[in-house]
Structure formats: structure tokens, C-alpha cells
Amino acid sequence: MIRRKRNRTKLFFGGFAIFAVVFVGAFLGIQFITKTGIFRVPGVVYYDESLTKEELAKLKTIFTEEVDLDKDVKISAKEYSTMPELHEGELLYEISVPVTDFYDARTDTSEFTDDEYKIISVEDLDFTKKLLAVDGEYYLDDFNSGATFRVIDFDSEKYDEEIAPLVTNTFAKQWPEKSSVLSLAQTGVTAMSRGMNAKLNSVGGDATYFAEKIKDYLSAFDLTHTSNESSFTDMATAHNICSDPRFIDVLTAIGLDIVELTGNHNQDCGNNAASDTIDIYEQNNIKIVGGGKTADAAAVPLELDAKGTNITFLAYNLSTGGATYGDTPGANQYYEENAVAEIAAAKERGDFVIVDIQYYECSGYASETEDTTCDYADSAAGDQVGFFRHLIDLGANVVVGTSAHQPQTFELYGDGAIYYGLGNLFFDQIWWPGTTRSLILEHYFYKGKLLQTRITPTVYDSNMQTKLLDKETAEWFIARLISARP
């Protein structure tokens, strides 16, 4: 009896030992096959040779020896000439754009040898450098081309669980795009009068005729500005600087958002016309700067807040007339103490400050030849260069002359940029080549920073239809203005 119990005990412990050995063997076998437990091999980071030294250095600050991965990850880089559609494991690492010197008239990389321009990150782009197009594609037009888009690819079976938490904050940057960049087109003199009044009747009264070749271009900007020097009135004729009321259709056709009233001809048609014209602008949701129904109204700065950028527009008349000094409509007269205070207040708010000036005019454009006299900013009455630079010294970021009937030179100065004269956008001065041209300043802002100001020349002929200047002529003309800089 006792012997039987001992045999049973031996069988029990023997069976248990066999079970334990089988269990442990199976457990360790599974670990060995699946590479887990004591046989676990940590995931390995493989760096592809497509990565740059800078990228490798950044990646190795993330994937340190302390990082314990379960699965391998293979990291590589790819470059695209258009914005790619990103898939799982892909992050946009860099957008690089071609730039040249601010004073270079060329506009496309095809005009350079490879070592004549630089490639920089969009993060380093600012108004002191000139952004170039790539085969006609300008990055700030659509943000999908005209640049190099570099993508880092993290190939891992556990990207969401293991890799994304490590790399997303470092690599998932916010880049400029159409919805976050504010585009503002500044244009020069508009004076739809005299010969344009006569032309309007000869084309059947449709004022959009004059904007036909430029309206789509200008209306594409978030904000479009012009300095209109003539008021709307039924008294408009072929001999006065007054506008037929139908000319409001030109301004709405180009998508005008901001009208500057610093001109010296807005009162040519009388105070009633000037006042009624302001009402017309307001009825068409066009913001006003540099003019008003009274001196107090005319002096109110225009504050803009759009797409994360705050801009203060200041506009003054320092010219041969047109200013209001009391309760009559007219332009905002320049007073030094006002400018000092208004620029300082705008800077205190953290705004980007644009100052427009209706300055004394240069009359050297009255020539049937290509007279370059007015290209030079010191050709006008008074010290135009000194005065405009003084406004930058006061804190303005950009200073623009809006009285010149012929485009003038431009320059970087201090911490800002100066455009001494923009010329005629819409006018009847078809007799002289200098007055048929103008400059469109195309400002691009991102989070309050001026990324770029592209200069696009326009021209009109005897038909008085404004259009963009062809590329070759535009570059010749810009080069001419650059050569005249102070």
C-alpha cells in the first residue's frame, strides 16, 4: 500500500517535471522564433545615404541609444519639384527656393548658371532677397511649384505607435501656403479722366474695357490698392481730370480693396464730387486711406488684419495741392509730428508699417524719347531721397511714392525698402513712353513677416488698356531703374 503511494507520487512529480520542461521549452521556443523576451532583438535604425549630414545629425538627436524600438526603421529622403502628396511615414522636411540679389533684374533660374544664384530655405526668405521663378513657376503664386520639396520617409511596421511620437513635433513644421500668406498688390497713379472719358464713349460706355487685360491678374491678390486722383462726377469731360461715374466698374473689375486719396486732383471737380466719390467707395466696400471728407477723417490710418498679419497703412500729401485743412474733403496733409506719432503707435502695436507719399512730381517724363531723368529719385523738386529715407528712419517698413507719373528707382535702406515712384496704372498720358508704364508692388506676408516684394511692370498704349509688360521688356526696364538707384 505504501509502495503504491510512493509510485503515484513519483509519477506525479515526473509528469509535472515533463510538463514544466515542455512548457518552458515551448515558451522559450516561441520567444526565440518571435525574437521576444530574453531572445528579443531591439529594432535598428537604418540611415539611407540619401540623407544629408545636417539631416543625419538631427535624426541622431532623436534616435539616441536610450530609444528602444520594437521594429526596425529605415529612414531616407526624397526631393520633388512639386508639392507631393504625403503618405504614412512621410514628413515634409524642407522647402527650398532659389534667390538672387535684390538688385538683379533677372526673374527666372533659366537665366542663370547654377552658381549665380543661391538656394535657401523658405524660412530664411525675406524682402532683402529676390525670389526667382523656376521655369516660369513662381513659388508664391501657388506654393506647389517653383521650389524644391524635401521629404523624409520613415519606413517602419510600427510607424504610428513608435516613430510618429518621436518625430512629429520635430519634422511636422508649418509651411507657408495660400491660406496663410497675405498677398497685397500696390499700384500707382489712377486718373481715369480726360482722354479716357472720350475713349469710354467710343467703346460703348463699358468701362471694364480699360481693365480687360489686367483685371484677372490684379483681382487674384488678397488685397489690391491704387491711388485714384480723380473724383466721379457727371461733369467729366475729355478736358478735365474728373471721372465718368461708370469708371467705378474699372475699380471693381480689378478687385480693388484699398483706394488712396492723397492725390492733388481729387478736388478738381469740386467738394461735392469729392465727397460723393467717398460715398461710392464705401458703397462698394473699398477701404480709404490718405483722404476723407474732413481733415480729421483723412488723417485716420488704415489698419488691416488678415491671415495673421497686421498692417498699418499711412498715406500723406506733400505735393502741389489737394490737401484738406478743415471740414472740406481732400487729401491728408503731411505734418512731421503726426507722422512721428502715427508710425510710433503702429510699431508699438507690432504692425507692419507702409507709408505712401504724394510727393512733388518730376516733369522730365514729358519727352517722346526714352528720357531717364525721372528714373532718378532726386530729379523731383525737393530732397526726395532724404525725405523718403527719413520715414524709414522713423520706423516705416516700406515707403512708396504714389505721385510719380513715370516709374522711379527703388532701394533697400536701413531696415526697410523704398519705392520712389510707381507710375501710371490707368491714365490718358499716351504721348510719352515714360508715362505709359507703372510698377505693381506685390507684397507677400507670412505671420507678419514680409517674405517678398515682387515688382511687375505694366504698360498701356493708344487703346488705354493696361496690361503686363512682356518679360524681356520688363527686365530691361527694371534694370534701367536699378541703375538709377541712389
pLDDT single digits (tens) 194-231:
999 999 999 999 999 999 999 999 999 999 999 999 99
Q: What is the pLDDT of residue 171?
A: 82
DSSP 475: H
234 neighbors 241 (Cβ within 8 angstroms) = no
Residue with cell 507677400: 444
Strand pairing partners for 77? 152
Please state the domain extents for the chain: 45-171, 181-483
pLDDT in tens, 248-278: 999 999 999 999 999 999 999 999 999 999 9
Per DSSP, the three-state class of 29 is helix
Give the pLDDT score at 18.
61
Over residues 61-71, mean pLDDT: 93
- The per-residue DSSP string of 214-237 comes to THHHHHTSSEEEEEE---B-TT--
Average pLDDT, the chain: 93
111-120 in b/e form (b: 16+ CB < 10 A) is: beeeeebeee
CA distance linking residue 381 with residue 396, whole number of Å: 22
Least confident of 98-102, 283-287, 322-326: 322-326
Q: Which pLDDT value is given to residue 15? A: 56
Q: Has residue 419 got a pLDDT over 70? A: yes
pLDDT for position 42: 79
Distance CA 459, CA 437 (A): 4
Predicted confidence (pLDDT) per residue in 123-142, tens digit: 999 999 999 999 999 999 99
Other beta carbons less than 10 A from residue 409's beta carbon = 24
Cα(81)–Cα(84) distance, integer angstroms: 8
For 176-191, what is the mean pLDDT? 97
pLDDT of residue 5: 53
Q: Which residue has the cell 507690432?
A: 350
pLDDT, tens digit (0-9, with 9 covering 90-100), for 334-347: 999 999 999 999 99
Hey, what CATH topology would domain 181-483 get?
A: Purple Acid Phosphatase; chain A, domain 2 (3.60.21)
Q: Which of 212-216, 375-379, 424-428, 475-479 has the lowest mean pLDDT?
A: 375-379
Residue 469 above 90 pLDDT? Answer: yes
> What is the pLDDT, as a whole number, of residue 170?
82
pLDDT per residue over 283-292, tens digit each? Answer: 999 999 999 9
| Inter-residue contact 360 to 380 (CB < 8 Å) | yes
pLDDT at 4 over 60: no
Percent of the chain with pLDDT over 90: 86
- When pLDDT is cut at 50, 70 and 90, the band that residue 94 belongs to is very high
Indicate the SS3 state at residue 283: helix
Tell me: the pLDDT tens digits for 232-242?
999 999 999 99
Instruction: Name beta bridge partners: 358.
Output: 317
pLDDT at position 366, please?
84
Return the pLDDT at 434: 94
* Residue 116 reports pLDDT greater than 80: yes
Give the CA count within 13 Å in the CB-facing half-sphere of 402: 36
Determine the pLDDT at residue 32. Answer: 46
Average pLDDT over residues 423-449: 97
State mean pLDDT over 447-475: 98
Residue 149 has pLDDT above 50, yes or no: yes
pLDDT at 34 over 60: no
| DSSP code of residue 381 | S
The pTM score is 0.91
